[in-house]
Amino acid sequence: MAGVRTILKGGRVVDPVNGIDGQADLQLDDGYITQVGQNLKVNPGSLVIEVPRGCVVCPGFIDMHVHLREPGQEHKETVATGVAAAVAGGFSAVACMPNTDPVNDDAGVTGLILARAAQAGLARVHPVGAVTVGLAGERLAQLGELRAAGCVAVSDDGRPVADTILMRRALEYASMCGMVVIDHCEDVSLTEDGVANDGFQAALLGLRGMPAAAEDIVVERDVTLSGMTGASVHIAHVSTRGALDAIRLGKERGFSVSCEVTPHHFTLTDDRLSEYGANYKMNPPLREQTDVEAILEGLRDGSVDCIATDHAPHHYDEKLAEFDRAPFGVVGLETAVSICLDRLVHPGHVSLSRLVELLAVNPARILGVAGGALTVGTPADITVLAPELAVTVDAQAFRSLARNTPFDGWALRGGVAATIVGGRSVYVNELVDGAVQFETVASDR
Ligand SMILES: [Zn+2]
């Protein structure tokens, strides 16, 4: 198929960076976008794909917070199964956290992840390196070497950079290397052995609590440090009203602060804990209604920059353990887009254009990676949405190796029709009428 020009015809194109929201055609050549406009001319030999009725053509979505578990825990997920899940969920790229075994605090581990991603050839993979050696929180990793090996950001995710002077140095060095520090904000002296939000539900069920203040305090510190150093900080998986207030204040003061929220934190509260399943156990924990409302407010008013899944695959047996002992985390790659369409777009919290900012534009900008726009001359990474598609979540059908989702069985309005990476169709949803045409998108690989 190499060399064949492809035209995606007749879709609604939503591309906020280029100010497009309306009917337009896209022309692809050799994996790149070569023209965007209305009624593009079709030359003989070009392949025309009619975008299915009602579908929306967007810049490829980027999930900036996933755990792919390779190397070291391939029974939970591999790079290959993780990127298969990503493209089935509409993500053309993911950024993967360094808490593998060995930790990605070394150029060799970064290289291995990138090699596995290239073998899989589905979603693009942007490794996130460790801030500290072994995620131990003691000594800075070689940030420059990680950058040179292909890391796009650094984080000790799973835990915070607890030591304040170390965090200051991390911000300064990372910024010199052109990387953002992504912080998992938790004062572990306050959360200690906690397993659930410290509130009425945890008290009722006799679960050890993790107070919202443990998150707020570290977010406030990071915002202050960002102001002090001028370096960029990105707050991972914000779950509390207090944390959002601190981020909003930092932005008002002109600090380089950004943040992400997860689909589970804007749809679920700790009321679910009475169901007692370990698929409601994550860190930060499910919070209270006031926190969910604060996140929705942040999604509406722009204080939230991104939606990321914190996709955290675990083996079935591990999540079967009693709540106290089960590991933290849920998968999210294959449910996020449907949750966002059903819970954010259809109820009117955010427009499709704002959703594209949250899932594509801002993740690309914060990580400094390609993508986020359908600009002529850039790689053709495209997510095609079917906003009216009726979707029922079926964890057994996931491409991910893991099934630990709190959304199994949910009926949702909206889904993914196709995912295109570098001009190559890497996922097509056969449940969308006419979407199968995307399988013929021309490829340069
Ligand atoms: Zn985390």
pLDDT digits (tens, 9 = 90+) for 209-219: 999 999 999 99
pLDDT band at 442 (very low <50, low <70, confident <90, very high): low
Ligand 1 center to 439 CA (angstroms):
36
- pLDDT reading at 200 higher than 80: yes
| Per-residue model confidence as pLDDT tens digits over 375-401 | 999 999 999 999 999 999 999 999 999
pLDDT number for residue 316: 87
As a whole number of angstroms, the distance between CA 51 and CA 415 comes to: 15
pLDDT band at 322 (very low <50, low <70, confident <90, very high): confident
Ligand 1 center to 265 CA (angstroms):
13
| Per-residue model confidence as pLDDT tens digits over 245-296 | 999 999 999 999 999 999 999 999 999 988 878 999 999 999 999 999 999 9
Average pLDDT for 326-353: 97
For residue 285, cis peptide bond before it (omega within 30 degrees of 0): no
pLDDT number for residue 3: 73
Q: Under a CB-based contact definition with an 8 Å cutoff, are residues 110 and 150 in contact? A: yes
Higher local confidence (pLDDT), 45 or 25: 25
Ligand 1 center to 232 CA (angstroms):
18
**Residue closest to 213 by CA, chosen among 185, 234, 182, 247:** 185
pLDDT number for residue 433: 92
DSSP state of 360: I
Average pLDDT for 348-373: 98
Average pLDDT for 287-307: 98
Q: What are phi and psi of 260, to 5 degrees?
A: -130, 155
pLDDT number for residue 55: 98
Ligand 1 center to 237 CA (angstroms):
7
- pLDDT reading at 2 higher than 60: no
User: Does the pTM exceed 0.85?
Assistant: yes
Average pLDDT for 286-307: 98
Ligand 1 center to 292 CA (angstroms):
18
| Per-residue model confidence as pLDDT tens digits over 136-194 | 999 999 999 999 999 999 999 999 999 999 999 999 999 999 999 999 999 999 999 99
Ligand 1 center to 45 CA (angstroms):
49
Query: Nearest 5 degrees, angle CA 7-CA 13-CA 18?
Result: 105
Residue ranges with CB less than 5 Å from ion ligand 1: 157, 184
- pLDDT reading at 1 higher than 70: no
Q: Is 275 left (phi over 0), alpha (psi -120 to 50) or beta?
A: alpha
| Per-residue model confidence as pLDDT tens digits over 73-95 | 999 999 999 999 999 999 999 99
Q: What is the mean pLDDT of the chain?
A: 96
The pair of structure tokens assigned to 6 is 């492809």
Annotation marks residue 310 as catalytic: yes
Ligand 1 center to 156 CA (angstroms):
8
Percent of the chain with pLDDT strictly greater than 70? 99
Ligand 1 center to 427 CA (angstroms):
28
Ligand 1 center to 34 CA (angstroms):
39
pLDDT number for residue 445: 42
pLDDT number for residue 4: 82
Q: At what angle do helices 79-88 and 107-120 cross, to 10 degrees?
A: 50
Q: Which of 25, 105, 216, 310 is catalytic?
A: 310
- pLDDT reading at 107 higher than 80: yes
Ligand 1 center to 147 CA (angstroms):
21
Ligand 1 center to 228 CA (angstroms):
24
Q: Under a CB-based contact definition with an 8 Å cutoff, are residues 414 and 391 in contact? A: yes
Ligand 1 center to 277 CA (angstroms):
20
Ligand 1 center to 249 CA (angstroms):
22
DSSP state of 40: -
Percent of the chain with pLDDT strictly greater than 90? 93
Ligand 1 center to 389 CA (angstroms):
31
Ligand 1 center to 370 CA (angstroms):
24
| Per-residue model confidence as pLDDT tens digits over 115-126 | 999 999 999 999
- pLDDT reading at 340 higher than 70: yes
Average pLDDT for 227-247: 98
DSSP letters spanning 178-247: T-EEEE----HHHHTT--EESSHHHHHHTPPEE-HHHHHHHHHHHHHHHHHH---EEE-S---HHHHHHH
